Structure 1
Amino acid sequence: MDLTFKTKEGRFNYRVAGVMIHENKLLIMKDYRAPYYYLPGGRVNLHETSTCAILREIKEELQVEGKVNRLLWIHENFFYEQILNEPFHEICFYYLIDLPKEFLESSPNHFVMEEHKDRYLSFDWIPLSRLDQVIIYPEFLKEAIYQLPEIPKHIMTYDKKS
């Protein structure tokens, strides 16, 4: 059971995301319905640790075994989600993820994976120098990605619309 629920005031979401960098490129993704990018990951299940959740999500989305390097950020995010048209209160754990050498060497700059029947996810290895040219959420990534913390950092973001 995903740790997400909806109330009259909006939706709560507990998710994990993977930061995967190779040759100064960041792996980002987008849902076919979304006008924006985000980092690979997904919701944490009830009774599942965040580290198990990110490894499961990487396996589901990329069909590859990742390895957790370290926790980078814990992000409390209050925002208005454009597709679902509702306010969100989201807690996300961002992990630096190591991917197998074979995957990194064979992965094209753009690829598409089927998540569920008739639902596709688009992935792009974007040069860090071009990150400011794409719409990516959460926005703190555009600056924070250049100085990955050695110890986890707590970040809070309040979208003006939420």
Structure 2
Amino acid sequence: MDITFKTPAGRFNYRVGGLLIHEGKLLIMHDENQPYYYVPGGRVMLHEKSEDAMKREIVEELSIEVNVKRMLWVDENFFVEDTLKEQFHEICFFYLLELKDNEILKNGDEFVVNENGKKHTYYWKSFDELQDINVYPLFLKEKIANLPFYIEHIS
């Protein structure tokens, strides 16, 4: 069971996001019906460690295994989701990930994955390219070039 719930005042999410970086490029994704990009990840399940959730989400979304190097950020985020127009209160743990092998790189800088009937397009984007696109969370544009060595709290 995912840790998310809806109330009359909005929705709460507990999620994880993973940063896969290769040769100065970050892997981001885009759903066909969304006006924004984001890093791979998803909701944490009840009684699941966030690191385990991160690994599980990458397997579900990309069919690859990764190593979790370290947590980068804890983000407390309050926003109105662009498509649903729903108020969110979200806690997200962002992790720096490492590929276990380079198979996914054979897909090129842009590739499509169908996850349970949902089409996701993935892109390897340089840090400079991120400045010109609508990528969430917004702080990624500023912080991607200088990753912290210790966990940072963002609110």
Give me the TM-score of the superposition, normalised by structure 1. 0.93
RMSD (Å) for aligned C-alpha atoms: 0.9
CA distance in 2, matches of 1:25, 1:111: 15
In structure 1, the partner of 2:56 is 56
Match of 1:140 in 2: 139
Give the gaps of 5 or more residues in structure 1: 157-162
1:27-66 alignment, distance < 5 Å:
27-66=27-66
* Structure 2, gaps ≥5 residues long: none
Following superposition, the deviation at residue 105 of structure 1 comes to: 3.8
Deviations 1:114-152 (A, max 9, x none): 1112x1111000111111011001100000111111111
Residues matched between the structures, number:
155
Q: Which runs of 4+ in 1 moved over 4 A?
A: none
Cα deviation, residue 103, structure 1: 2.3
Whether 1:6 aligns to 2:6 is yes
Please list the CA deviations of residues 55-91 of structure 1 after superposition, one character each: whole Å capped at 9, or x if unmatched: 0000111100111000000000000001111110000
Letter in 2 for 1:63: S
| Contact 1:12–1:90 (8 Å) recurs in 2 | yes
Using the alignment, how far apart are the partners of 1:48 and 1:133 within structure 2? 35
Work out the CA distance in 1 between the residues paired with 2:111 and 2:103. Answer: 12
Superposition TM-score, scaled by structure 2 size:
0.97
Q: For 1:65 and 1:28, how far apart are their aligned partners in 2?
A: 17
How far off is 1:106 after superposition? 1.5
